[in-house]
Amino acid sequence: MMKHWTITAIAATFATGAMAQDKVVFATNWLAQGGQGGFYQALADGTYDKYGLDVEIQQGGPQVNNRPMLAAGRIDFLMTGNLLLSFDNVRNEIPTIVVASYYEKDPQVLIAHKGQYDGWDDLANAPEVLVSKDGQFSYWQWMTATQGFTDEQLRPYGYNLAAFLNDEKMVQQGYATSEPLYAEQQGAPVDTFLLADYGWNTYASTVEARVDMVENNPDLVQRFIDASTIGWYNYLYNDPTLGNEAIMAANPDMTAEGLDAEVKQLLAMGIVGSGYQAEVGIGAIDMDRVQSFYDTVVAAGILDEGSVDISKVATDQFVNQKVGMDLMK
């Protein structure tokens, strides 16, 4: 069957010296949303095409686990949660590695009804804190080991706001771009506490690749990361219309207003574009910080000392190059 070449694709072919675009399958860890906006922007505005890439974005979701698909070669890149998952890969000798981090801060939060508690330290006095099963085996252990919380406060989180809305003293987990906004929409203003601001210093929304791809096809990895990073700058700081349209097409539950609120929250809380990213670009990785988070989880009893070779967790080979920073307005 004859391939229908576009002008953009032809330009990309000459630009990359390739006979055809490289097919790339990129999987996310949840349904399309503003927190993935840079990837959809790069897809919709032709940035991936310009870099010689034919990218398919494969959504995650409540019944989808894309993680095993990376090591199995079914996908090429995976957007994942935070570094704990990558530590587990290394411990289990799964040959994948983090090649970029699009969130400078983990969006994990606790929310409380507005004015009910006098800051982060006072949350340790809350009668009940709702935390999911995954949270109980990760950041909750850090909270009880180092932040003054106790297991007597712990209650299971049912992934809805009903219990929280009915109890002024209730504290619950959330995601910075979700639960705080949903609570406000239902008439319950909240105080939002980003765990990253109190010492939970993992990277988040990382992108993983297979080790063999990093070693044998670094040009492909570089092009995908560069194009994705440019997509993020265009989405956050220029016109996100194309990215939003692509997100809403993939996930009809999203609205332009909701996506705009998500982006404002990402920027206001410094989840993207702050810290080291402000110096060297979105996607940045500081290997000392990867080590620091490992030290944090070891101190909290989540992992054993010496159980992870940090050099196998991530690489800064493809980032920290200020790609796309000239697009900020």
Grade residue 11 by pLDDT with cuts at 50, 70 and 90.
Answer: very low
Q: What is the mean pLDDT of residues 305-321?
A: 97
> Strand, helix or coil at 102?
strand
Taking alpha carbons only, the member of 64, 103, 71 closest to residue 250 is 64
For residue 46 the two structure tokens come to 């032709």
Grade residue 124 by pLDDT with cuts at 50, 70 and 90.
Answer: very high
User: To which CATH superfamily is domain 108-198 assigned?
Assistant: Periplasmic binding protein-like II (3.40.190.10)
List pLDDT tens digits, range 241-257. 999 999 999 999 999 99
Q: Where along the chain do its domains lie?
A: 7-105+202-327, 108-198
How far apart CA 196 and CA 200 sit, in angstroms, is: 5
End-to-end CA distance of the chain: 44
Largest CA distance in the chain: 67
How far apart CA 43 and CA 178 sit, in angstroms, is: 24
pLDDT number for residue 40:
98
Grade residue 4 by pLDDT with cuts at 50, 70 and 90.
Answer: very low
Grade residue 228 by pLDDT with cuts at 50, 70 and 90.
Answer: very high
Taking alpha carbons only, the member of 55, 56, 53, 57 closest to residue 11 is 53
Q: Considering the chain, what percentage of its residues have pLDDT values greater than 90?
A: 89
List pLDDT tens digits, range 145-162. 999 999 999 999 988 899
How far apart CA 3 and CA 15 sit, in angstroms, is: 19
List pLDDT tens digits, range 24-33. 999 999 999 9
pLDDT number for residue 61:
82
How far apart CA 311 and CA 98 sit, in angstroms, is: 10
Residues 252 and 244 sit within 8 Å (Cβ to Cβ)? no
Q: The domain 7-105+202-327: what is its CATH number? A: 3.40.190.10
Taking alpha carbons only, the member of 227, 241, 221, 236 closest to residue 278 is 236
Residues 97 and 311 sit within 8 Å (Cβ to Cβ)? no
Q: What is the mean pLDDT of residues 36-40?
A: 98
pLDDT number for residue 66:
85
pLDDT number for residue 14:
41
Q: With DSSP H G I counted as helix, E B as strand and the rest as coil, what are the percentages for the chain, rounded to 5? A: 45, 15, 40
Grade residue 65 by pLDDT with cuts at 50, 70 and 90.
Answer: confident
Q: Please check the confidence at residue 272 and state whether its pLDDT lies above 90.
A: yes
pLDDT number for residue 220:
98
Q: Please check the confidence at residue 282 and state whether its pLDDT lies above 80.
A: yes
pLDDT number for residue 9:
39
pLDDT number for residue 15:
46
| Domain 108-198 in the same topology as domain 7-105+202-327 | yes
Q: Please check the confidence at residue 18 and state whether its pLDDT lies above 90.
A: no
Q: Please check the confidence at residue 8 and state whether its pLDDT lies above 70.
A: no
Taking alpha carbons only, the member of 112, 56, 87, 107 closest to residue 266 is 107
How far apart CA 237 and CA 329 sit, in angstroms, is: 6
Helix (H) or strand (E) segment spanning residue 132: none
Q: What is the mean pLDDT of residues 165-191?
A: 95
Q: Please check the confidence at residue 231 and state whether its pLDDT lies above 80.
A: yes
Grade residue 237 by pLDDT with cuts at 50, 70 and 90.
Answer: very high
User: Checking phi first, is residue 4 left (phi over 0); if not, alpha (psi -120 to 50) or beta?
Assistant: beta
List pLDDT tens digits, range 258-268. 999 999 999 99
Taking alpha carbons only, the member of 101, 318, 91, 81 closest to residue 214 is 318
Measured in degrees and rounded to the nearest 5, phi and psi for residue 328 equal: -70, 135
Q: Please check the confidence at residue 303 and state whether its pLDDT lies above 80.
A: yes
